[in-house]
Each structure stands twice: as structure tokens, then as C-alpha cells.
């Protein structure tokens, strides 16, 4: 078998961070279950007992779920809010197979990141190094989760699904739960429990040191008939897996013989692709960055120290600045004094932050475009 014929067959070993054996297992077991009587299939379904903790504006709502049974059992106040004192309720003491904490988009950030294909073997290190560029936070300030969402060998890139949340916020939430005797087994994104998105279902931002203390229990199969059905399904799955393992064994032997040639060819291909990408990379960056960098630099000089900017939106020559200040009304004059900005105005009414007593504002300005390279 030639190298050109072997490489496509090797693609079955890995796909999207999951082995083909695992994907085949999920598909085959799902197909087999279609032939199992509905009553037995319902008995086989894992009706896990879950405490679902939904984080809202200033509280956490704890909901007990077991099959179709759903009941709110506790409400825990956050940031000084009292919340409903349900800690003494027997419902909060129910044994649960897992405790899932769902974070809203205001706490957890999910985004797509594109990296060169050659970085796949060290994705975690690359993301840590680039964290302050990819997100508003430093790597030591966040808990993160990532997975390979897509590989594009033709373009030489991989798409990464990255989720981050501030450590301080997550730790405060976990501490509030632990004070009620609730130990989280998973910290994920809002809607993950009901989502069919496999990538979303895999997200877990729970600190690694807390995962070892979490135990999970499989529900006990209620009858001998159900157990027998499960054994038959497993037997039907096992045979094709054994056959596939034999094929993989043969492929591994062939890979061992052709590995040096494959490695050399792959390195040459990656070097060519890297050189082609780099030829246009820096020109593209130069064309897109000057205006943004200049806007950020100018804002840091004209905005006073008692003002915090929480969000900056650049849309062509229009910049929208979101933030808080001890005196928002004075910002208009300060920003107008800059040679870079014009038509400075509030795009929405100024409001008060009840926690800090600062003014919340959204200011819209126009940038004076002077024909920098690439503009």
C-alpha cells in the first residue's frame, strides 16, 4: 500500500478530538436501541438525579431534576443579596447523582479561535500564551475549556471552541454553594443541560482540584429483563468493534513502516504552507490594526483615572465606548479635546450603578481618518 493510499485511511483514527471507535460506539448503540421495545428502552434510559444551579442577576436558583420531576429547592443570594433561605428544607438534602452549575453569558465567554494546524499538539500552551489577546483576561485569572471544533487541512488551520470564566467569580459561586452543603460536579454554560450541541455538553469549567472529590453514581437497573436487554445490546456492539480493532492493528503496523516517510513529507508540506501564509499575514495585520491601535492609545490618554471602560466597539469610523465614571458628564469635553475624535455624544441615557454609585454611560464618537496604510 502506498503512502498516498494509507494516509486517508489513517484519518479514521482521530476526528474532532474523539476516536472513531467512540463515534462508532455512539452511532451503533443508538441504532440498536431503535429495535428495543419502548418500555425496555425507557428502563434503560439513565434518569439521573440532578441539582441544576442556574446563575441569574443576583442569585442562584437550585432546581432538583429527576426525569420529568422538577422542583426549585433553594435560592441563594449573591453579592450581598439575601436570597430565599431554603437551606433547612429537606428537598435540598436529596442525594443527587450530579450538581451542574450553569453560567450565563455575562459570566462565561464562548468564542471561536482559529490557529495554524501545526499548533494542534500544543493547543493548551498556545491558548494560555495568547489568552490576553483572545480574551479581555490574563490566563491566571480564568478557568478555561477548549476543544477542536473543525480542522481545515486545505487552509492549514484548526478552529477551536474556547470557553473562559473569571476564577474569582466562579470561586465565589462555588463557595456560596458549599456553604449550603452543595458540591458542584460540573460548571458549564447556560442551557447546556438541555442542549443537543455536543461541544456545549462537554464544557466543564470546574477547577481540576475540585473534580477528584466529586463522585457519581449510575442509577441501578430496575429489573433482570432490562439487564438482559442491555447485555444483548452490548454483545451486538462488541463484534464489529473487535473487527475494527483488528483493522487498526494492521494499520498501526503499516504506519510503523511508513512513519519516517510520512513525517518527512508532512514537515515539508507544513513548511510550504507556513511560508505561504506568512507572506500575506503581516501585510494583512498592518492593514487592519493601525486605526484600532491609535484609537485605544488615544482613549488611554484622554480618559481620566476615575473612569473604567468595559467595552469598546469599532464599526468603521464609529466608536462606541461603554463604561462607568464618577462624573460621566465631564467625559464629553475631555474626548472632544482630542484631535482624533469628533461628534462626541451620549448614545443612551446615563444611569447609576447601585453598587458603586458611578455613572454608567455609552458614548459614541467619530474617528478622524487620515489615510493610514490599509485604511
pTM to 2 decimal places: 0.44
**Cell representation of residue 265:** 513529507
Class of domain 291-367: alpha beta
Query: In this predicted structure, what is the pLDDT of residue 218?
Result: 43
Q: Which of 101-115, 130-144, 231-245 has the lowest mean pLDDT?
A: 231-245
CA 12 to chain centre: 26
Query: In this predicted structure, what is the pLDDT of residue 222?
Result: 45
Distances (CA, A) of 211 to 55, 175, 205, 240: 20, 15, 10, 34
Q: Residue 158: beta bridge partners?
A: 115, 151
Query: In this predicted structure, what is the pLDDT of residue 31?
Result: 63
Tell me whether strands 341-346 and 359-367 are parallel, antiparallel or unpaired.
antiparallel
Torsions phi, psi for 22 (to 5 deg): -65, -45
3 state DSSP class of 211: helix
Instruction: List all residues 6 or more positions away from 121 whose beta carbon is below 8 Å from its beta carbon.
Output: none
Phi-psi region of 110 (alpha: psi -120 to 50; beta: other; left: phi over 0): beta
Render pLDDT for 360-374 as a digit per residue (tens, 0 to 9).
Answer: 999 999 987 654 444
Instruction: List all residues 6 or more positions away from 107 whose beta carbon is below 8 Å from its beta carbon.
Output: 55, 165, 166, 169, 170
Query: In this predicted structure, what is the pLDDT of residue 198?
Result: 65
pLDDT(276) > 80: no
Q: Quick one: CA dihedral 123, 129, 134, 135, positive or negative?
A: positive
Render pLDDT for 112-164 as a digit per residue (tens, 0 to 9).
Answer: 888 898 888 888 888 888 888 888 888 888 888 888 888 888 989 999 888 88
Instruction: List all residues 6 or more positions away from 336 whose beta carbon is below 8 Å from its beta carbon.
Output: 342, 344
Query: In this predicted structure, what is the pLDDT of residue 47?
Result: 64
Q: Quick one: CA dihedral 216, 221, 226, 230, positive or negative?
A: positive
Q: Which of 28-32, 130-134, 254-258 has the lowest mean pLDDT?
A: 28-32
pLDDT(93) > 50: no
Average pLDDT of the segment spanning 243-268? 81
> Grid cell 504506519 — which residue?
255
3 state DSSP class of 338: coil
Q: What angle do CA 113, 134, 312 make, to 5 degrees?
A: 120
Instruction: Give the CATH fold of the 46-211 domain.
Output: Nucleotidyltransferase; domain 5 (3.30.420)
Average pLDDT of the segment spanning 304-321? 87
Q: Most confidently modeled of 1-5, 106-110, 248-252, 302-306? A: 302-306
Q: Which of 175, 198, 209 is nearest to 79 (CA)?
A: 175
Question: Domain ranges in the chain?
Answer: 46-211, 224-286, 291-367
Q: Residue 187: beta bridge partners?
A: 101
Render pLDDT for 181-223 as a digit per residue (tens, 0 to 9).
Answer: 888 888 888 876 666 666 677 788 888 777 754 444 444 444 5
Mean pLDDT of the chain: 75
Q: How many of the other CB atoms lie within 10 Å of CB of 224?
A: 8
Query: In this predicted structure, what is the pLDDT of residue 322?
Result: 93
Amino acid at each position: 500500500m502506498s503512502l498516498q493510499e494509507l494516509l486517508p485511511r489513517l484519518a479514521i483514527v482521530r476526528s474532532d478530538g474523539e476516536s472513531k471507535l467512540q463515534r462508532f460506539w455512539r452511532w451503533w448503540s443508538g441504532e440498536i436501541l431503535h429495535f428495543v421495545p419502548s418500555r425496555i428502552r425507557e428502563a434503560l434510559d439513565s434518569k439521573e438525579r440532578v441539582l441544576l444551579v442556574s446563575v441569574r442577576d443576583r442569585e442562584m436558583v437550585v432546581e432538583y431534576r429527576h426525569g420529568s420531576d422538577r422542583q426549585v429547592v433553594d435560592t441563594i443570594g449573591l453579592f450581598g443579596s439575601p436570597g430565599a433561605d431554603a437551606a433547612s428544607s429537606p428537598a435540598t438534602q436529596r442525594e443527587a447523582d450530579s450538581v451542574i452549575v450553569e453560567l450565563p453569558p455575562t459570566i462565561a465567554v464562548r468564542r471561536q479561535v482559529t490557529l495554524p494546524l501545526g499548533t494542534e499538539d500544543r493547543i493548551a500552551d498556545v491558548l494560555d500564551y495568547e489568552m490576553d489577546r483572545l480574551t479581555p483576561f490574563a490566563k491566571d485569572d480564568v478557568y478555561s475549556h477548549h476543544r477542536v471544533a473543525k480542522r481545515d487541512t486545505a487552509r492549514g488551520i484548526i478552529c477551536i471552541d474556547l470557553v473562559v470564566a473569571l476564577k474569582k467569580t466562579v470561586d465565589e459561586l462555588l463557595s456560596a454553594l458549599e456553604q449550603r452543603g452543595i458540591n458542584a460536579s460540573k460548571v458549564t454554560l447556560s442551557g447546556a443541560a438541555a442542549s443537543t450541541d455536543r461541544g456545549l455538553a462537554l464544557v466543564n469549567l470546574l477547577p481540576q482540584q475540585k473534580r477528584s472529590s466529586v463522585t457519581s453514581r449510575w442509577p441501578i437497573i430496575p429489573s433482570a429483563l432490562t439487564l438482559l436487554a442491555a447485555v444483548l445490546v452490548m454483545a451486538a456492539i462488541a463484534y464489529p468493534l473487535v473487527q475494527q480493532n483488528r483493522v487498526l492493528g494492521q494499520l498501526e503496523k503499516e504506519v510503523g513502516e511508513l512513519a519516517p516517510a510520512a513525517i518527512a513529507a508532512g514537515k515539508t508540506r507544513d513548511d510550504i504552507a507556513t511560508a505561504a501564509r506568512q507572506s500575506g499575514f503581516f501585510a494583512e495585520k498592518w492593514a487592519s490594526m493601525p486605526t484600532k491601535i491609535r484609537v485605544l492609545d488615544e482613549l488611554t490618554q484622554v480618559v481620566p483615572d476615575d473612569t473604567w471602560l468595559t467595552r469598546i466597539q469599532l464599526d468603521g469610523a464609529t466608536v462606541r465606548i461603554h463604561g462607568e465614571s464618577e462624573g460621566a458628564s465631564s467625559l464629553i469635553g475631555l474626548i472632544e479635546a482630542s484631535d482624533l475624535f469628533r461628534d462626541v455624544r451620549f448614545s443612551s441615557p446615563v444611569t447609576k450603578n447601585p453598587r458603586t454609585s458611578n455613572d454608567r454611560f455609552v458614548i459614541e464618537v467619530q474617528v478622524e481618518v487620515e489615510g493610514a496604510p490599509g485604511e
